[in-house]
Structure formats: C-alpha cells, structure tokens
C-alpha cells in the first residue's frame, strides 16, 4: 500500500522531469560550452549526470516504474530499435577491437545512439509527443534569445575589417583566433554549422507543433522569425541549399492538397515561404554571392572522403573505432569526417553505417508509403525532416557533436517516429 502511494506521488514529478529535460535540450550547446566544460574539468566524467538527456532518461525510467507509461512495441518499432542497437553494437565492437578510448566510446553511444532511441520512444507515444511539442518551443525561444543577444554584443563591440552588414555576418565563418577568443557568441553557439543545422530542422518541427495547436500563434511566429535571423547570420551554404529544396517540396505538398484541404495547403505554402527567405537573403548581396562561389571547403570535404575510400585491410570493414580516425588524421580524437555517414563508418565499420542508412531508409519509405495511403501531416514532416538530415549529414550534421551533445541524435529519433505516424500509441 505504502509503495503504491509513493509511486502515485512520484508520477507527476517524473512527468515534470521529462518535460523539463526536453525544454532544456535546445539549450544543450551553450550548456555544454559553459556549465559542462567547467564541471568536466572539476569532476570529470560524472558531468554527464547534469545533462538534460540524463534528466529525461531518469525521469522516463521513473515514469515507467510508476506505471504511467507502458511501451507496447509494434513490428516497425522493433525494426527501428533493432537497427539502432545493431549500429551501436558494431560501434562498440569496433572500438574494442581497435583499442579506442572507452570514455569517448561510452559518450558516443550514450549521446548519439541513446538519444535516437530516447526520442523515438518519446515521439511514438501520443502523451509524450504532446508534451514535447508544448515545451520544446519554449526552450528553443530561450536558446535563440541567448544566441542573438550574444551576437548583438559581438556585432556592437567587435572590430572587423568592414562596417557593412554582409562582411560582418561572414566574419563569423572565419573569425580567426583573436576574434573567436574574445566573442561571447562563439562560447554560446559552440559551432555555427551545428547551429544552422538545428535551426533548420526546428523550423520544420515547430510547424507541426503549430498546426496541431500545441503552441500559440505568437510563440510560433516569433520563434520562426528568430530562427530565420539565426540561419542568415550563421550563413551555412549547406543549410541554405537544403532549405531551398525543402521549400520546393512543401510547395509540391501544397499543390497536392489544394483541392482536398485548402487549410493544409495554405499552411504548407506559409512554411515554404519561411523556408525560402534565408536562401534568398544569402544571394541578396554581391559579397554573399562571391562567398557562394568559393568552393574550397567543398573541395576539401570531397578530397577527405575520397581518401577514406583508399583504406584497405580490416579498416574498411571495422572502421577505426570511436575517436581513432581523428587521432590518426588530425591528432585530435574529437575531430571527424564532417559527414554523418562517414563518421558512422569510421567509428563502427561497414555494418554500422549500413544499419544507419537502413534506419533513415525505413523512416523515409514507411513515411512515403503512409502519405500515399492516408495523408498525414506527421508523416510528411517526419519524411521532410529525415530527408533534410540526410542531406545535412553529407556536410556537418552530427548525432553526438564532440561526443558531448545529443540533440542531433534526438532529432533523428523524433523524425523517424513521426514518419511512422498512424500507429502512434496512446499512453
């Protein structure tokens, strides 16, 4: 009797913990840059206990224990979980075989594959999905305010070679040591490419929260406007290209739904318009267009990928093990290939990258089949998100950036779950 009363009293706190963790997750980059950096230097690996992902894991576990959440896996759920676990298992095996740093390996498994599983579980539950859509936008808004405030300080206080806005924006792309050490923006942002990647997928995710009525119109439009500003000032050509393609895709979706559901068509067109704005801004000035024409980084990425194809022996099968590629090539274990799928191969070998590719394929194919059979906004957004991450993954997207962040993997799991919508479980 006493145990049952204790569980009943604990259940609301477990729900609050999950909600708080998801609200804090968009702030993961500045939290990792600041608090976790300090904690890691003073207490070492236990800093993971203070991460928003850990708060969600612990709270969700308590929620299951109190009986408020009872997962019931379907065939497609088991397939997705099996692919993630297969990828994780071969990554762990490759790291053991190649004598990788076990600390980095654990963090990669936890923040990367652990976050994918966690997000998939949360977004396959109607109850947790609703909570996520209600609290995540507030965390996003707080992150954007912090990010843009630090950028405003950078803009006002930092001397660059020109006072023109385009030059000052692109100064963030190659700040140099003196600039990056003095600007608070870089401490808050962590990495401008990661910021642009997350801002892009958040625009799509927030659209679904809006049309489902989980957030207010004011919050939606303010957040979308700030995301557009962030995308412009971080100026990622990869993100601009994906935004343009997504906008075209949602225009096609609007055309397909025009006769049957005028409201849905209008919402897709409004999202397409928002997605078009950053790419249009990126070609609005001659200095911007000149930067677009500079393909040095693209060429270096292609050369780096080509060099990986020259590897032989057991490396092509088992990879390098977590952290070993960066150690061998750059002398820094946290550096990778700048490619999600090549990173997965480098860390876990051929089977790991095949499982990761299969995970994306399952989500996209199930989602497209579902949209063809019975139209669903969740499926469409899920497929759009997975296609966007697939394209971004060819450049800078990472499921566990610096082996210390989880929001990249969280988005993967969330979009796979949305793509499988239609069999979403009531909790």
Instruction: Parse the chain into domains and list their residue ranges.
Output: 74-419
3-state secondary structure of 110: helix
132 contacts: CB under 8 Å, gap ≥ 6:
22, 122, 123, 414
73 contacts: CB under 8 Å, gap ≥ 6:
81
pLDDT at 180: 52
- For the beta carbon of residue 362, count every other beta carbon within 10 angstroms: 18
pLDDT at 216: 93
> Is 405 or 220 the better-scoring residue by pLDDT?
220
Asked if the model's pLDDT at residue 241 lies above 60, the reply is: yes
In the chain, how long is the greatest CA-to-CA distance? 73
Asked if the model's pLDDT at residue 79 lies above 80, the reply is: yes
Taking only the tens place, the pLDDT of each residue in 225-235 is 999 999 998 88
Give me the mean pLDDT over the 72-78 stretch.
Answer: 77
User: Using 50, 70 and 90 to split pLDDT, how confident is the model at 167?
Assistant: confident
Give me the mean pLDDT over the 23-39 stretch.
Answer: 77
Asked if the model's pLDDT at residue 425 lies above 50, the reply is: no
Angle at 167 between CA 272 and CA 151, to 5 degrees: 70
Taking only the tens place, the pLDDT of each residue in 33-55 is 666 666 666 666 677 777 899 99
pLDDT at 37: 61
User: Using 50, 70 and 90 to split pLDDT, how confident is the model at 136?
Assistant: very high
- The pTM of this model reads 0.91
CA 400 to chain CA mean position, Å = 9
Angle at 98 between CA 95 and CA 103, to 5 degrees: 40
């Amino acid at each position: 009797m006493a145990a049952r009363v204790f569980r009943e009293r604990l259940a609301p706190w477990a729900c609050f913990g999950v909600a708080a963790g998801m609200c804090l997750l968009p702030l993961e980059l500045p939290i990792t840059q600041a608090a976790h950096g300090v904690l890691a230097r003073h207490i070492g690996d236990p800093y993971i206990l203070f991460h928003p992902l850990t708060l969600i894991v612990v709270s969700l576990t308590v929620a299951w224990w109190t009986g408020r959440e009872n997962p019931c896996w379907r065939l497609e759920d088991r397939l997705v979980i099996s692919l993630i676990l297969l990828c994780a298992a071969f990554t762990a095996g490759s790291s053991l075989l190649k004598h990788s740093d076990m600390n980095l390996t654990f963090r990669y498994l936890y923040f990367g594959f652990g976050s994918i599983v966690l997000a998939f579980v949360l977004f396959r539950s109607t109850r947790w999905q609703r909570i996520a859509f209600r609290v995540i936008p507030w965390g996003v808004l707080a992150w954007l305010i912090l990010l843009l405030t630090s950028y405003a300080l950078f803009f006002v206080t930092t001397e660059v070679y020109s006072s023109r806005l385009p030059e000052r924006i692109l100064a963030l792309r190659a700040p140099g040591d003196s600039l990056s050490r003095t600007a608070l923006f870089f401490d808050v942002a962590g990495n401008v490419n990661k910021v642009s990647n997350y801002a892009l997928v958040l625009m799509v995710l927030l659209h679904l929260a809006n049309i489902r009525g989980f957030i207010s119109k004011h919050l939606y439009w303010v957040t979308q406007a700030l995301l557009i500003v962030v995308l412009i000032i971080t100026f990622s050509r990869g993100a601009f290209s994906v935004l343009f393609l997504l906008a075209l895709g949602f225009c096609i979706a609007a055309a397909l739904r025009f006769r049957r559901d005028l409201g849905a068509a209008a919402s897709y067109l409004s999202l397409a318009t928002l997605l078009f704005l950053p790419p249009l801004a990126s070609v609005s000035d001659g200095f911007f267009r000149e930067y677009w024409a500079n393909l040095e980084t693209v060429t270096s990425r292609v050369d780096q990928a080509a060099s990986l194809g020259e590897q032989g022996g057991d490396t092509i099968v088992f990879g390098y093990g977590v952290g070993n590629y960066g150690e061998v090539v750059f002398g820094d274990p946290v550096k990778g290939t700048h490619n999600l799928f090549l990173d997965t191969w480098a860390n876990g070998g051929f089977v790991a990258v095949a499982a990761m590719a299969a995970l994306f394929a399952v989500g996209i194919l199930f989602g497209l089949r579902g949209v063809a059979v019975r139209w669903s906004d969740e499926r469409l957004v899920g497929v759009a998100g997975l296609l966007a991450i697939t394209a971004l993954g060819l450049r800078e997207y990472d499921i566990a950036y610096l082996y210390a962040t989880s929001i990249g993997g969280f988005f993967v799991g969330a979009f796979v779950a949305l793509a499988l919508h239609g069999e979403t479980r009531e909790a």
